[in-house]
Amino acid sequence: MNQKEIIKTLWNTIYPKSDLTLLNSFLAELESFKKIQQDSQPFWYQDAVVYSIYVDLFNKDFEGLIEKLDYIRSLGVNTLWLLPILDSPMRDAGFDIRNYDKIRHELLGLPENHSKEEQEYLFGKFLNEAHTRGLRVIFDIALNHVSETHPWFQQARSSEDNPYRDYFIWTKDTSLYQDARIIFKGMETSNWEKVGDWYFFHRFFNFQPDLNYRNPHVLLDMLRHFIYWQRLGVDGFRADAIPYIWKEDGTDCENLPQTHLIVKFIRAILDSIRPGTLLLAEACQKPNKVVEYMGDGDECHAAYHFPLMPMFYKAIASEQAEPIIKILDTKITPPIPENAQWFTFLRCHDELSLELVYVSEEDRKYIHDRYCLQPEWDFRQGEGISARLANLFQFDERKIGLAYSMMLTLPGTPVIYYGDEFGKENDQRYYEEMIKLTGKDDTRFLVRGKINWPLREVQLNDPSTFQYRVFHRIQKMLEVRCQTGVFGRGSMEFISIQTGEAGANPALLAYERRIEDQRIIVLQNLSSKPQLAMLDNFAKEGVDLLQDKAVQLNEIVMKPFAYHWIKID
C-alpha cells in the first residue's frame, strides 16, 4: 500500500463510524503543504548523543542557549532535547500545555502577546544556529493531556453542549475506569476531578484533563500541531505519556490496541511530510510492552529503556554484573526492528523511577534502601528517588564515570541530563520555590534548577575541582564514542571473564561490541576492590581507547570501579 492508503486504512480501523469527509479534508490540507526535503540521514537517531535541557533553567532563554551551543557541541553531543517549551502555566514543569503552537514568551524574550511571525523568526534563528553546528533538535509534546487553562478545556467546561465538550472525558458516574491506576500516588487520590455536577478524567495531576481520542477531531488537531513544528525545522518529538491515550472501561487504560493504531497514524502522517522526523516514545512500561511502541518499524522510531536505568544503580550497589545481563536478556528485552533504537539514560528531569511496572518489589526496595539517602528524596511513596546523579553516588567521580561507561557503551542512544556532565547537585532552593508556585510537594523539582554559569565556568577551568574531573571523564568517553559507530549500531555479546582458577568473576561486566571490521571490548569493574581480568582468548594485545595506550589482554589488573574500552584487531 502507498502512504495515502495506509493512512486511510488506519483511519477506518480507528474510527469505523467516522465520515471520510473529515479525513479527506485533512489530507487535502497536507497536499497544500510544501514537502520538506527528505532527511539525507534517515536513521540519524541511531548515532545520536542527546543532551536534555530546560531552556530557561539552562541559560535563561533561546538567546542564552545559542550562547552555549558551542559548549554543548564541545561535550560531544549532536542532539538537543528541549524539555517543555510550549505555552504553559508551568504547574507541571511545562507538561501542562496551554497552547500547542506557541512557545512560552519568556523563552523567546518577547511579550506574552507575541505574534506567530516573531516566534517563527526567533525560534527559526535558534534552529539555524543549532543545525549549523551539527545539532539536531527535538522537543516534548504531551499527547495524553492538556492544561486546564487550554482553550479547548475552557470551552469544554463552559457548557455541556459546547463543541469542545467531547474533546475530554466527562461523567457523573465515577465508577468508570476504576482499573486505571493512580500514577501520581501520594499526590493524587483519584483520576476524577469535579467541575460543577460533572467530573472529568485525568491520569496525572488534577489540573491536567485527559484528551478524548475517541473523538477524531482531537487526533487531527493534534497532528496539525505536530506538522506546524515539523515544517519549521524541528527534527523530532518526544511523545509524552503515550501509553495512556486511549481509554476503555474495564481495562487498566494502558497499552490498548487503539493506542498503537493512533501512533501508527501519527507516524504515517509525519512520514508523509518528512521521513526521518523522529517520534520517540515515553512509555514507562516493561520492555516487552515498550517494544510494541516501535511496532514493525511503523510506530515510534525509538523508545526509552526505562527498566535498564535502575539496573545501572543496582549493579553498582551490589557490585554485580548480573542485573545488567538479566535485563538485557532477550526473554526480558525482546529484539527491536532494525530501523528502531533504544534511548538509554542515567538520570532525567523526573525521579529515578522505581515503578513496579518494570522493577520487582525486591529490586525496588533494594535500590530505594541504598540510594534514597534523605527522606525528602522519596517520591511516590517509595516508587522513586528525587536526586541528581552526583547526589545518588555521593559525589564519587569513579562511580559516576563507571555509570556513564555502561550507558555509553551498551546498545542504544544515550541521553545526558543537563548539568550531570559536571556533577550538578540537587537544587533545594528551586524545589522550595516550585512548591509555592504549584501548591504540590513534587520532589522532582530537586533534580531541576538553574545553572550558575559564572560559578560553573570557574569550576570547569580548575583541574582541582570535582566538576572539572567529572566533565573531562565524560568528555573523553564521548569523544571516543563519536569516533566509531559501533556503540550506536553494532552488535553486542556479553563476555564471561575468568579470574584464574576461580572461574567467572561476577563483579566484571564485559561485552564485545562489533560492527563490520570494528571490534571493541568493554571491560568494567563494578567492585569496590581491585579485580584481575584475563582476556587472552581474544588477542594478545589491544589499545585502550580511553587512555590511548596499548594493553596486554592476558592480565589486566583493574582498580575499583575502573573501566576500559579496548580496541582489538
Query: Which residues participate in catalysis according to the annotation?
Result: 240, 282
Q: CA triplet 138, 185, 355: central angle to 5 degrees?
A: 60
Whether residue 429 contacts residue 392, with contact meaning beta carbons closer than 8 Å, is answered with: no
Q: For residue 65, how many C-alpha atoms fall within 13 Å in the half-sphere facing its CB?
A: 30
User: CB neighbours of 48 closer than 8 A, spacing ≥ 6?
Assistant: 78, 79, 136, 413, 488
**Residue 478, C-alpha cell as written in the block:** 564521548
Q: CA triplet 185, 186, 189: central angle to 5 degrees?
A: 70
Give 505-565 as a DSSP string.
-TTEEEEEEEETTEEEEEEEE-SSS-EEEB-TTT-SEEEETTTTEEEETT-EEEPTT-EEE
Cβ atoms < 10 Å from Cβ of 100: 19
* CA dihedral over 477, 478, 481, 483, signed as positive or negative: negative
**Dihedral angle at the C-alpha atoms of 341, 342, 347, 348, nearest 10 degrees?**
60
Query: For residues 257 and 282, what is the distance between their CA atoms, to the nearest angstrom?
Result: 17
User: CB neighbours of 145 closer than 8 A, spacing ≥ 6?
Assistant: 96, 202, 203, 204, 208, 209, 210, 211, 241
Burial 210-220 (b: 16+ CB within 10 A, else e): bbbbebbbbbb
Cβ atoms < 10 Å from Cβ of 452: 11
Q: What is the DSSP letter of 33?
A: S
User: CB neighbours of 242 closer than 8 A, spacing ≥ 6?
Assistant: 143, 144, 259, 263, 281, 282, 283, 293, 300
Rg of the chain over CA atoms, in angstroms?
24
**Residue 213, C-alpha cell as written in the block:** 481520542
Residue type, 197: D
